Structure 1
Amino acid sequence: MMRYIKLVNFEINRFSKIYLSLLLITLVSQFAGVIIVTKSLLKDARDIMKEERLSEAAYITNYGGIDFNHIANSLLFVGPIALSAVALIFYIFLIWYRDWFGKNTFIYRLLMLPTSRLSIYLSKATSIFLMVLGLIAFQIIILPMENALFNSNVPQALLNEMSISTITIANPILSLIIPSTFTQFLLSYGIGLMIMSILFT
């Protein structure tokens, strides 16, 4: 068991620099998206109110309020999620290619370790699955902060305040990576784990 844990730790450490870069890109890009898109939305709203000589109440009646969906659908918000997903899918293939076809054919050294070959297989699968869960957990942690920043920057009269659960349900990408029920979570990520295991095999 200890050898298996060490192998998992070893695999995570090999990808740690890229992984931390993905987390940092997500953090910076999404918070920048909140600030930039919010300013753009408020500028557009003010321009419309000025051109059409509307009060805030009249603007809300005609055009509706400003909500977090505008942020969640922007490229600065969705882009890092897509980038992280592509990077981890790419790593599913790279994790084996690097060991079998790299300069030092590292797989032979792994196979000579006094542990079962299944442990090597499972350690690679576990490390990727843990990194996927880590990215999801990171998104769940920063999403309320982004929502709070958005709410604080939009005037109350123009704001359509949304809860975190409403945001995740309304956005197709967030609803995919953050399922609303535990059953959906098990189903979605169980299927993902099965596909990864088939690719590994």
Structure 2
Amino acid sequence: MTNFFKLLRFELDRFFKLYIVLIVVTIVSQLAGLVIISKLYMRRAREEIVVNQNSMESFLETYGQFSLANLTHSLWFFGPIALCIVSLLIYVFFIWYRDWFGKNTFIYRLLMLPTERLNVYLAKAMTIFTMVLGLVSLQIVLIYLEMNLVRLLVPRDFRLDLTIHEVIRSFDYFNILIPDSFLGFLISYGTGLMAVFVLFTAILIERSYRLKGVFIGGLYVAASFFVFISPLILSEIFLPRFFYPIEMFLLEVFAGLIVMTGAIWLGYYLLNKKIRV
């Protein structure tokens, strides 16, 4: 276990600089975006009310009250989130291929460490998972900060104060990134972790069999996806309206556990039997 945490810390340290860049870009973009959007809103309000002599009620009827939803619907908000998601998706592949194609082929030294090779596999997966949780936690803190900043930038009569749940619902993908229940958290992040394990194992298949491995790895990913959605296929095509919702949920959980366990076992097998150092 000690070796696993050492590997986890090592992998986190290797991504730390880029991780800080993502954090800074997210903070600066969202806070700057909120200031700019709110200033533009208040400038428009002054033009309509002071210059054009329209009433405040007329302005609010036309433009609506300002809320944090004005920010969440803008590129200032979802742009850095998309950047973080794309960066982490790329890093799922980079975290392995850097070790093979980087300076001095570091993978050979990594796999020769006096520890179970599975620890290397699990440490890389938990690195991705930890970074995702860190960015999501940052976003929750930012939302609370932005809610208070709105109160400073926009007068009470012109703004609509939203709760944290209303802000989350105002951004379509937040229900996946920030579920509103512990069960939703387990579903969203359990599925994401399963996908990381499947991709890791596909990479190891490619590294084990090289050119043939690209085709085999693609088939493996497709087969894993099929197993995962097989309860839905069974329910929709072969046994429509046969299962209760709770039964469908349990079948999906079981299918996900099969896929995840199979990915970890196959990754363990490849690291110990097929990949040579």
TM-score for both structures, normalised by structure 1: 0.95
Q: Does 1:97 align with 2:90?
A: no
Return the alpha-carbon distance in structure 2 between the equivalents of residues 48 and 158 of structure 1: 13
Asked if the contact 1:57/1:157 (under 8 Å) is kept, the reply is no
Asked if the contact 1:111/1:117 (under 8 Å) is kept, the reply is yes
Instruction: Kindly state the Cα deviation for residue 179 of structure 1 after the two structures are TM-superposed.
Output: 1.3
Instruction: Kindly state the Cα deviation for residue 100 of structure 1 after the two structures are TM-superposed.
Output: 1.4
Aligned-partner SS, 1:157: helix
Cα deviation code 1:52-103 (max 9, x no counterpart): 5322133223442111111111111111111111111111000000111222
Return the alpha-carbon distance in structure 1 between the equivalents of residues 118 and 28 of structure 2: 39
Asked if the contact 2:68/2:146 (under 8 Å) is kept, the reply is no
Return the alpha-carbon distance in structure 1 between the equivalents of residues 97 and 198 of structure 2: 16
**Counterpart in the other structure of 2:163:** 163
RMSD value, Cα: 1.4
Instruction: Kindly state the Cα deviation for residue 51 of structure 1 after the two structures are TM-superposed.
Output: 6.1
In the TM superposition, structure 1's runs of 4+ consecutive aligned residues that sit over 4 Å from their partners are none
1:135-154 equivalences under 5 Å are: 135-154=135-154
Return the alpha-carbon distance in structure 2 between the equivalents of residues 93 and 17 of structure 1: 18
Unaligned 5+ segments in structure 2 are 202-277
Pick which of 42-51 and 135-144 moved more: 42-51
Aligned-partner SS, 1:172: coil
**Counterpart in the other structure of 1:46:** 46
Return the alpha-carbon distance in structure 1 between the equivalents of residues 58 and 145 of structure 2: 30
Aligned-partner SS, 1:89: helix
Cα deviation code 1:125-153 (max 9, x no counterpart): 01110000000011111211111101221
Q: Quick one: which amino acid aligns to residue 172 of structure 2?
A: P
Return the alpha-carbon distance in structure 2 between the equivalents of residues 114 and 185 of structure 1: 35
* Cα pair distance change 1:172/1:4, threshold 3 Å: same
* Cα pair distance change 1:48/1:176, threshold 3 Å: farther
Return the alpha-carbon distance in structure 2 between the equivalents of residues 62 and 98 of structure 1: 54
Return the alpha-carbon distance in structure 1 between the equivalents of residues 176 and 48 of structure 2: 35
Q: Quick one: which amino acid aligns to residue 192 of structure 2?
A: G
Aligned-partner SS, 2:180: coil
Work out which of the two has the higher radius of gyration on C-alpha atoms and give 1 or 2. Answer: 2
Instruction: Kindly state the Cα deviation for residue 173 of structure 1 after the two structures are TM-superposed.
Output: 3.0
**Counterpart in the other structure of 2:124:** 124
Instruction: Kindly state the Cα deviation for residue 50 of structure 1 after the two structures are TM-superposed.
Output: 4.6
Return the alpha-carbon distance in structure 2 between the equivalents of residues 122 and 180 of structure 1: 28
Q: How many residues align?
A: 201
Which structure is richer in relative contact order (CA contacts within 8 A, separation 6 or more)? 1
Q: Quick one: which amino acid aligns to residue 58 of structure 1?
A: S
Once the two structures are aligned, what percentage of the paired residues are identical? 45
Cα deviation code 1:13-40 (max 9, x no counterpart): 0000000111111111111011001111
Pick which of 62-71 and 188-197 moved more: 62-71
Aligned-partner SS, 2:158: coil
Q: Quick one: which amino acid aligns to residue 190 of structure 2?
A: G
Cα deviation code 1:139-168 (max 9, x no counterpart): 111211111101221111111111111100
Unaligned 5+ segments in structure 1 are none
Q: Quick one: which amino acid aligns to residue 185 of structure 2?
A: F
Pick which of 170-179 and 43-52 moved more: 43-52
1:179-198 equivalences under 5 Å are: 179-198=179-198
